[in-house]
Amino acid sequence: MPKLELLPAVDVRDGQAVRLVHGESGSETSYGSPLEAALAWQSAGAEWLHLVDLDAAFGTGDNRDVISEVTGAMDIKVELSGGIRDDASLEAALATGCRRVNLGTAALESPEWVAKVIAEHGDKIAVGLDVRGTTLRGRGWTRDGGDLYETLARLDAEGCARYVVTDIAKDGTLQGPNLGLLRDVCAVTDRPVVASGGVSSLDDLRAISLLVPEGVEGAIVGKALYAKAFTLEEALKAVAV
Ligand SMILES: O=C(O)c1ccccc1N[C@@H]1O[C@H](COP(=O)(O)O)[C@@H](O)[C@H]1O
C-alpha cells in the first residue's frame, strides 16, 4: 500500500505566512517569512509543499514575487493555489516551476476554460473542492458555487486528474479531518484525493492513512505544524509504512 503523502502548507497573505480559521479573511495568525517556513518543511523531509496565494484567492492583490521566490528555492514538489483563473494567471503559475496547480473558483465559474486546461495540461491541473456541507465555495470561500457531487461528475468526465478536498468548517480549527466527506468523495471518483482541513494530531494523520486504499493520496497539514502540535518529522514517521 502506498504511503500517505504529506503536504505542509504555506499560505501567503500580505507577504507573510499565515493561517486562517475557516478560511475567513481577517482571522489570520502570522508566522513570519514564507520562505523560511517552506525551507523548514523541506529540511524536515517534506516531499511536497502546498503553497497558497491567499490575496489572489480573496481578490485583494497577489504575492506573485514571494510565490516565485519560494517555488524557485524549493528542491521538492510544489502544489500552487490561489487566483489561478485564466490563461495569464495559469501561465504565470506554471512558469514558477511548480509541479501542479489547484484551480478553485475557475472550476465553478469557468467550466469551459477548466475543461480546456485539463485537456492541455493533464495532471499539472488539480481542482480544489472547497465545501461547506456539500456546497462548493469560491472567491475566497465567500460565494456558493454549486453542488459538490454534480461538479465532481462533470470534472471526472473532463478528465480532471486529482482533487484537493477541503472541509471549510474544519479548516484552521484543529478539530480533526472530515473523514466521512473524504470517504464519500472517494466513493464516487477513481481520481486521487488530497485531504485538507482540520488535521490536529498524529492520530488524525493515521486515520487519513487508513483511507489510502479508498483513494486518499495525501493530506495537507497547516495549523497543527505551526502550532507545534507535532513536528513534520513525527508526522512523516507516523504515516510511513
Ligand atoms: O487555503 C485557504 O485557507 C484558503 C482560504 C480561502 C480561500 C482560498 C484558500 N485556499 C485555496 O485557494 C484556492 C482557491 O483559489 P481560487 O478560488 O482558485 O482563486 C483553493 O485551492 C483553496 O483551497
User: What is the Cα–Cα distance from 122 to 111, expressed in whole angstroms?
Assistant: 15
**What is the per-residue pLDDT across 73-112, written as a single tens digit (0 to 9) for each?**
999 999 999 999 999 999 999 999 999 999 999 999 999 9
Interval between CA 1 and ligand 1 midpoint (Å): 30
pTM for this one? 0.97
The whole-number average pLDDT for the span 201-207 is 98
pLDDT at 39 over 90: yes
Reply yes or no on whether the pLDDT at 115 is more than 80. yes
Q: What are phi and psi of 163, to 5 degrees?
A: -125, 140
* Average pLDDT over every residue of 205-215: 98
Look at residue 241 in the predicted model and tell me its pLDDT. 74
| Residue 233's pLDDT band (cuts 50, 70, 90) | very high
pLDDT value of residue 1? 81
- H helix or E strand, kind and range, residue 187: helix 179-188
For 173, phi then psi, to 5°, come to -105, -10
For a mutational test of ligand 1's pocket, the pick from 16, 27, 51, 54, i.e. the residue with the most ligand atoms closer than 8 A to its C-beta, is: 54
Distance from the alpha carbon of residue 202 to the mean position of ligand 1, in angstroms:
24
Inform me whether the pLDDT recorded for 183 exceeds 80.
Answer: yes
130 is catalytic: yes
> Best substitution site from 16, 30, 52 to test ligand 1's pocket, by max atoms within 8 Å of Cβ?
52
* Distance in Å, CA 151 to ligand 1 centroid: 17
| DSSP category for residue 122 | G
Cβ(46)–Cβ(8) below 8 Å? yes
Residue 75 C-alpha to ligand 1 middle, in angstroms? 24
Q: Which of 53, 55, 62, 130 is catalytic?
A: 130
Taking the CA of residue 171 as reference, the ligand 1 atom at the shortest distance is: 3
Would you put residue 235 in left (φ > 0), alpha (ψ -120 to 50) or beta? alpha
Q: Of 70, 2, 11, nearest to 220 (Cα)?
A: 11
Pocket test for ligand 1, best of 11, 130, 194 (most atoms within 8 A of CB): 130
Q: Which atom of ligand 1 is nearest to the CA of 85?
A: 18
Encode pLDDT of 120-139 as tens digits.
999 999 999 999 999 999 99
